[in-house]
Amino acid sequence: METLDRSGIDALLTALRERGFTVLGPTVRDRAIVYDELRSTADLPVGVTDEQAAGSYRLTHRGDDALFGYTVGPHSWKRWLHPPLVRLLRITPEEGGQGFTADSSDPGARRWAFVGVRACELAAIGIQDRVFLDGPAVDPVYDARRRGVFVVAVNCAQAGGTCFCASMDAGPRAREGFDLALTEVVDDDRHYFLVEDGSPEGREVLAALPSRLATADEVKTADRILESAASSMGRSLEMDGLPEILGRGYDSPRWEKVATRCLSCTNCTMVCPTCFCSTVEDVNDLADGAAERWRRWDSCFTTEFSYLHGGSVRTSVSSRYRQWLTHKLGTWIEQFGSPGCVGCGRCITWCPVGIDLTEEAAALRESDRALHA
């Protein structure tokens, strides 16, 4: 394991750009920490942290110069790998009307470096890899965007108020799926980063940086920070037996109770780093006769999502919330081998009325226990 100071992080960003990557990472905009292109460490949320609770998010100052002293914001990396709006096809008629040309290229695909990827987000990328790449049909848009991404993970030095990644075995330490992983240490006397490589390309980049071998005390300090973050999660979720409980709880009165609060606004699915539902739209340009096919994010919380001939299958809010929760924590496991939740807590933070997924799962468990005692 190696050690870098802040100038070493600037050298890392420069090295990535010199290798042809567009560098994306956290920055402050519109009173939130979002992901955008980075040029230097000055673009990072220096000295900024976030305070999160159910239905609540705000930024405050830490009182130090930490570069990654926050948890997660509303953006997730699926914004670039599975974009909210992408053109799938453009068909243009040729002159004379004797044929047409078809263009299925993705103009948004680039060679990216993701900087500041949390462990829960790495787990989410792994889930979307299984959804889009490991099935019988590979998604070409995701495949083109995912291939060659350089990942700089950042281990969490603090837990957010709505985090429960430890319950989902998805953090706060990044274990795999990264090229480089950083652990930031800020104390009264020093500010440094421990760096672990996770791939041959990561080792190559690290070798070009002004690093030195980490001492045993530095490694122990980083381990203590991560242990503290794991033990201070704002939430927890017991997954043992939960898929079976959800299967038995189809008629639970809890669904109607949560539906009295749920606005069916789709915020939870929009900020979720794993939700992948989408719809396809065809548009025509009457001026030049061109036609385009676009894919955009959709949500199981809309009535149109389950529309079949004659009407929507899920007309009530309770049925749509039930679909979302039982899929996320139950049937997703049957489909893809893991839950569709990584414990990032975004769905709790960004729910306008503060509905808590962990609270709903616990209530369903308690109801099931009372029925089957």
Q: pLDDT digits over 89-108, tens only?
A: 999 998 777 889 999 988 77
Burial profile 285-305: b = 16 or more Cβ within 10 angstroms, e = fewer: eeeeebebebbebbbbbbeeb
In DSSP terms, 12 is beta-bridged to none
Q: pLDDT digits over 106-158, tens only?
A: 877 889 999 999 999 999 999 999 999 998 899 999 999 999 899 999 999 99
Distance CA(291)–CA(268), nearest Å, equals 32
Confidence at residue 357, expressed as pLDDT on a 0 to 100 scale: 97
Confidence at residue 94, expressed as pLDDT on a 0 to 100 scale: 86
Bond prior to 107 in cis (omega within 30° of 0):
no
Strands 112-117 and 150-154: parallel
Confidence at residue 96, expressed as pLDDT on a 0 to 100 scale: 72
pLDDT at 343 over 70: yes
Confidence at residue 98, expressed as pLDDT on a 0 to 100 scale: 80
Domain boundaries, the chain: 2-88+104-231, 242-282+297-371
For range 262-282, the mean pLDDT: 97
Q: pLDDT digits over 10-46, tens only?
A: 999 999 999 999 999 999 999 999 999 999 999 999 9
For residue 352, count other CB atoms closer than 10 A to its CB.
Answer: 11
Q: What is the separation, in whole angstroms, between the first and last Cα of the chain?
A: 51
